[in-house]
A and B are shown apart, each in its own frame.
Chain A
């Protein structure tokens, strides 16, 4: 039984068929990559799985449970965490506050605790702080704990975002272009971060990436998406050298000439 199972999922924005008959099956501990040219619908697939959009048709099951129609806060609380291509960090919040925020669904002190500062709330908040500190150390950003996240260097911001997703204790992690805009050194460091998280938590990862190097390093299985359809899937080498994939990428370049 796969952990994340998508069958025949389609979505259209008005008349535009953004995703058609998409299938995915992700087992525990597996890393699958999703590649494709710009506008192929990769991020849309993430948004459909996590519940930001509701698919026009098809089903998504997570851990054996149908999750179509669930809100993003529900799917994430179930253990389906994600990151964003543009990071989406909260500009007025500190690094520590970012990590604690992702524990939102685990707090049980309720309104009474929020309004009255009960001992129960104090205990839960300080436990969360301790846990958050562990995660900050794990991703080597603990020295920034009390700083506003906008003041951090880019690579550190990326790691904060990873830590924020990981503190949810997800079973599946969806990574949307984690190395975009990075130098080759930063990229290699990020690959290590992802690999360590994967090994440590036996995490299933579904990864959108433009850079084939990253896909080759991390993934056992790759899908190539063009115009909302999976063109080819298989091992990284197979997909990368497939004539249709090359055509899709090169074809895109020809247009721009």
Chain B
């Protein structure tokens, strides 16, 4: 293309950064991040002690900064003593972030852009799956090396990945289909309980669920079956809601699904055979990082396949004008039921993963607060968009962790942020953007 647009005014920092990173494909960023995590392995601890930080910052320095801020807040509100020397930690954390992440990422990503584009172009000669697997493998090794540095990182990463799947599965219903469903934590609960029933009931000795039925060394290989079972039971629950709610149009789904969430929660609270309000504990440690990464990647791929097919786009047609969709041969009822059950299935799988990350499950985990959290992720990230769900889930998860030192104020800051997004971008940060896998894994062609 010889479309030589005059370069925009290179005024702001952002537009300059945008120009700088424009030719960098995903593979280039992966190279950059890879360099960062390796670099941190070597200099992380040393740099932290040189900068006077008590230990290596775990979440890009965010937690360190907010810990200091939380100290100031507690001084102002409660009058607690504040150690002013910790103020130094703020610039130190910023410097750490700059030296360990930002600078190497920028340098390597920019310097290898041509090489990365060349490799990506060469990989295009093979089926897409080859390029996708190579890049996902690289992505996994980056996450693995990064998470290996501390247990806190590992658990945060695992929970974030689970949140991505959970958010995306709700986006099918609230974004692509445009209905408002409140029952998603309920589906997650069903998935968590049912997969725990499968793993703990069959393969572990437990006070509530009894002795193990089977004991063999390869038992963890049955974990996909446990997740599948959890997901299928969740979509069975969805069927119960879908039958009455999709007969008519309107706000019925919101009300019925909210009722369903409460029913599920009190069912598990009162079900003594499943541990009552104390729940089930002692899940085997099968939700390892590779298992979660593969499951989430597979889930994202499958959901993206669905929403980009004409069958899945029928959801958008139903949302934008149901009468027209029906007049254009679309079986609207089947479309809505399928999507609702499909979304519930992945919520159930996410629940199964969650139960095995935390290695316990109880009804209190699936309260209204969980609903608020996942709705925040969906609406913050962007409706009708796979990118949006990923961005929403990752940013709200990281923010939630970073703001943890602020304790109760966290629940003022996050909603406030959500309100701002709703005012300035009512459909979320990255809404209505198609996730084209070929483009994502391919080279960035310059105009």
Contacts and interface: CB of A to CB of B under 8 A. Distances in A.
Contacts of A115: 302, 305-306, 342
B330 interface: yes
Contacts of A84: 323-324, 327
Interface in A21-69: 50, 52
A93 B332 contact: no
B321 A88 contact: yes
Contact of A107 (B310, B319, B342): B310
B328 interface: yes
Contact of A104 (B305, B320, B329, B342): B329
B27 interface: no
Contact of A101 (B325, B331, B338, B384): B325
A117 to B, nearest CB: 4
Most A-side CB within 10 Å, residue of B302, B328, B332: B328
B358 interface: no
A113 B310 contact: no
Interface in A112-163: 113-117, 121, 125, 128
Interface in B314-342: 314, 316-317, 319-321, 323-332, 338, 342
A179 interface: no
A102 to B, nearest CB: 4
A72 B310 contact: no
A92 interface: yes
A101 B309 contact: no
Size class of the contact patch on chain B: 20 to 34
A76 B329 contact: yes
Contact of A90 (B302, B320, B332, B384): B320
Contacts of A5: none
A28 B305 CA distance: 41
Contacts of B317: 90, 93, 101
Nearest to A111: B338
B321 A105 contact: no
B237 interface: no
Nearest to A46: B327
A104 B324 contact: no
Contacts of B321: 88-90
A11 interface: no
Given A101-B314, A103-B310, A128-B310, A116 B305 contact: yes
Contacts of A101: 310, 313-314, 317, 325, 328, 330
B326 A92 contact: no
B82 interface: no
Interface residues of A, number: 38
B305 A164 contact: no
Contacts of A50: 327
B99 interface: no
B311 interface: yes
B312 interface: yes
B329 A73 contact: yes
A100 B108 CA distance: 43
B440 to A, nearest CB: 14
B384 A114 contact: no
A89 B317 CA distance: 9
A90 B316 contact: yes
Interface string B90-104: 000000000000000
Contact of A116 (B302, B332, B384): B302
B198 interface: no
Interface in B330-362: 330-332, 338, 342
Given A116-B305, A128-B310, A92 B432 contact: yes
A77 B326 CA distance: 10
Most A-side CB within 10 Å, residue of B306, B312, B313, B332: B313
B305 A117 contact: yes
Most B-side CB within 10 Å, residue of A76, A106, A115: A115
Interface in B287-311: 302, 305-306, 309-311
Nearest to A161: B324
Given A90-B317, A92-B320, A114 B306 contact: yes
A97 interface: yes
Contacts of B338: 111
Most B-side CB within 10 Å, residue of A76, A106, A114, A164: A114
A242 interface: no
Nearest to A97: B313
Contacts of A100: 310, 313
B323 A93 contact: no
Contacts of B384: 92
A89 B305 contact: no
Contacts of B323: 52, 72, 84, 88
Nearest to A93: B316
Given A101-B328, A107-B311, A92 B316 contact: yes
A54 to B, nearest CB: 14
B327 A76 contact: yes
Given A82-B327, A109-B311, A111-B311, 16 more contacts: A52-B326, A73-B327, A73-B331, A89-B320, A92-B316, A92-B320, A93-B316, A93-B317, A101-B314, A104-B311, A104-B330, A105-B329, A113-B311, A116-B302, A116-B305, A121-B309
21 contacts: A71-B326, A72-B323, A72-B327, A84-B327, A88-B321, A90-B317, A92-B319, A100-B313, A101-B313, A101-B325, A102-B329, A104-B310, A104-B314, A107-B310, A109-B311, A114-B305, A114-B311, A116-B305, A121-B309, A125-B309, A164-B328
Nearest 8 pairs between A and B by C-beta?
A: A88-B324, A90-B320, A105-B329, A114-B311, A72-B326, A102-B328, A77-B329, A117-B305
